[in-house]
Amino acid sequence: MPRLEINQTFAKIDWDVQSPRYSFEPGQAKVLIEQTPAEMNVQYVPPRLTIDQSECWADMDMKHIFRRNEEAAADAKRQVLNYIEKTVLEGAQLGAIENGGNVIRNLAMGHHLLPQHSFQYGNVPRNFSLRIECIPGETRMDWKIGGTMINVQDRPFQHNYERGRISYTLQKKNELHFESIGGNLNIEY
């Protein structure tokens, strides 16, 4: 008895997968900082205190020899000038004796029999004889402010992306075979 045989071969597909690729390089910024330091100049003038005790010592009669000599010379000159003045005045009064009056008696009364002395306690200086001079000190500060220079060089980040692909290839075609078996005729399609 004749029969029909069918053989079928399925198609085979092959594929190639290329994964996507992503590469990334971060951009590193360069920062250059230059700083000029600040300058400070300080000028200091110290305070000065001057205490002059020479008048205090002079009030206590503890004078330098040069000052004693100056005072003695000035006192002698003053006494001589006073004596000359007194003598001239008395001479003028005596020259006018003919005008009358009791000139000699008046002149005698003007002369003191006992000299007049002034007494001072010499161990204590008088008030305000100590001289104090104070010049305050100064501090001058001069600043020169330094600057800061900042330079930023920016490098952008770089990224590369390659798309993935899938490629298909037909490895084997599908086939369908018919075969008639039996009878007189063997035909294959």
Asked whether the predicted pLDDT for residue 186 surpasses 70, the reply is no
The per-residue pLDDT for 135 is 94
pLDDT digits (tens, 9 = 90+) for 9-18: 888 888 888 9
- Average pLDDT, whole number, for the chain? 85
Mean per-residue pLDDT, 131-137: 93
Say how many Å lie between the first and final Cα of the chain, rounded. 20
Query: Maximum Cα–Cα distance for the chain, whole Å?
Result: 214
Of residues 135 and 93, more confidently modeled: 135
Looking from the CA of 30 toward its CB, the CA atoms found within 13 Å total 3
Mean per-residue pLDDT, 139-160: 88
Find all residues with CB under 8 Å of 142, minimum gap 6, and list them: 40, 41, 42, 43
pLDDT digits (tens, 9 = 90+) for 35-92: 888 899 999 999 999 999 988 888 888 888 999 999 999 999 999 999 999 999 988 8
In whole angstroms, what separates CA 67 from the centre of its chain?
52
| Exposure class string for 106-124: b at 16+ Cβ within 10 A, else e | eeeeeeeeeeeeeeeeeee
Place 138 in a pLDDT band, splitting at 50, 70 and 90. very high
Distance CA 130, CA 56 (A): 6
In whole angstroms, what separates CA 148 from the centre of its chain?
17
Place 187 in a pLDDT band, splitting at 50, 70 and 90. low
